[in-house]
């Protein structure tokens, strides 16, 4: 089933293998503009049934990692056109992942004090400017709690970013609602201690996510909208919230009638709970539409998910760093190039080395 075509909301995918979103920080400066180097990187991997771009901030304050490509200026939109054109030339499909990091940022990256559901700092490090020059991992700043005006602006930023993505040639968008970023922060008690309509009850904690999904779906069509969730992973990859699975179930019930392009579960990162058959059956029953799963999958485990009907699409992250021809390697049982210490050193920032210089299998 890995290599069978799939109808994704009316768009034909060549196979069910997805390239998961991965931050690579290769934009042109100033302005965090996508460029020809990035176009080459994504085009090399266009044999995937679907590519999901690296996290793409919807505004300046949404940024949490330096050199990541935005989608809120015209220059960024034009830069992304190079990427989408390159992928489409190879017959591929590409969604962009719309991103707001919330409290997982630094003032020198966001350009102002980071914003979050509540003014609670998370002990974390992000890729940003170093005091002595250059870039490296820096401690996050203390955020300020978002006002209603901030929330309204954030909804508007996501809507505009989605429209910009369509203008840039993307086939759709994925909202980043996972991994302890803004939408995930609102859904979890550990990071959301608000006393207004966006905090407290489970219904209140999913409100912002539901509002953004509905607004973006109204703007570009629900069939072009997806969301990534990580209910089995701790917020910021730390301890898992006691009720986040129940919160996720409530969210899925709310959005199921929209029949989004897909719901993407990210798993097996940091501190996590193992997915059981019961969990997968429950998610499928609540959300009977297209489901994608990512998280240290192998060809064999991915095939099992498809065979059991637990997933319709399977996503691979780090294998795509060193194996641009991952689909072909799987199909012809060729060994994978290892993701080793050298590959890890070139994940963020730099040039073509460790980015577009990985060879295809002979």
Catalytic machinery residues: 181
Sign of CA dihedral 242, 243, 246, 247: negative
Check if the beta carbon of residue 84 is closer than 8 Å to that of residue 168: yes
Phi-psi region of 259 (alpha: psi -120 to 50; beta: other; left: phi over 0): left
Check if the beta carbon of residue 77 is closer than 8 Å to that of residue 198: no
Sign of CA dihedral 103, 270, 289, 243: negative
Check if the beta carbon of residue 212 is closer than 8 Å to that of residue 269: no
Looking at residue 3, the DSSP 8-state letter turns out to be T
Please state, as a whole number, how many other Cβ atoms lie within 10 Å of the Cβ of residue 152: 12
Burial 29-55 (b: 16+ CB within 10 A, else e): eeebbbbebbbbbbbbbbbbbbbbbbb
Check if the beta carbon of residue 329 is closer than 8 Å to that of residue 335: yes
Residue at token pair 């602006």: 153
Q: Which residues pair with 175 in a beta bridge?
A: 98, 227
Please state, as a whole number, how many other Cβ atoms lie within 10 Å of the Cβ of residue 157: 20
| Strands 6-8, 11-13: pairing kind | antiparallel
């Amino acid at each position: 089933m890995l290599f069978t075509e799939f109808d994704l909301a009316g768009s034909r995918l060549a196979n069910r293998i997805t390239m998961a979103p991965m931050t690579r920080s290769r934009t042109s400066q100033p302005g965090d503009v996508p460029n020809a180097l990035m176009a080459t990187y994504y085009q090399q991997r266009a044999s995937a049934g679907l590519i999901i771009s690296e996290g793409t901030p919807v505004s300046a304050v949404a940024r949490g990692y330096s050199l990541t490509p935005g989608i809120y200026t015209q220059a960024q939109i034009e830069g992304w056109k190079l990427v989408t054109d390159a992928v489409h030339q190879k017959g591929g499909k590409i969604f962009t992942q719309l991103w707001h990091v919330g409290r997982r940022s630094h003032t020198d990256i966001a350009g102002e004090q980071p914003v979050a559901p509540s003014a609670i700092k998370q002990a974390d490090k992000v890729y940003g400017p170093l005091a002595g020059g250059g870039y490296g991992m820096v401690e996050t700043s203390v955020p300020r709690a978002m006002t209603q005006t901030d929330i309204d602006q954030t909804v508007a930023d996501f809507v505009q970013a989605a429209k910009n993505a369509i203008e840039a040639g993307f086939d759709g968008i994925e909202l980043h609602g996972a991994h302890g970023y803004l939408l995930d922060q609102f859904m979890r008690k550990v990071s959301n201690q608000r006393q207004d309509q966006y905090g407290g009850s489970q219904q209140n904690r999913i409100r912002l996510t539901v509002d953004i999904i509905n607004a973006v779906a109204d703007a570009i069509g629900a069939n072009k909208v997806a969301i990534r969730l990580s209910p089995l992973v701790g917020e910021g990859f730390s301890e898992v919230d006691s009720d986040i699975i129940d919160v996720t179930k409530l969210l899925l019930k709310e959005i199921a009638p929209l029949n989004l392009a897909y719901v993407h579960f990210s798993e097996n990162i940091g501190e996590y709970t193992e997915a059981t058959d019961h969990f997968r059956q429950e998610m499928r029953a609540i959300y009977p539409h297209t489901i994608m799963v990512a998280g240290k999958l192998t060809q064999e485990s991915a095939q099992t998910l498809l065979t059991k009907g637990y997933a319709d699409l399977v996503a691979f992250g780090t294998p795509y760093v060193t194996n641009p021809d991952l689909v072909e390697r799987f199909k012809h049982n060729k060994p994978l190039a290892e993701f080793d210490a050298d590959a890890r050193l070139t994940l963020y920032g730099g040039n073509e080395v460790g980015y577009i210089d990985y060879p295809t299998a002979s």
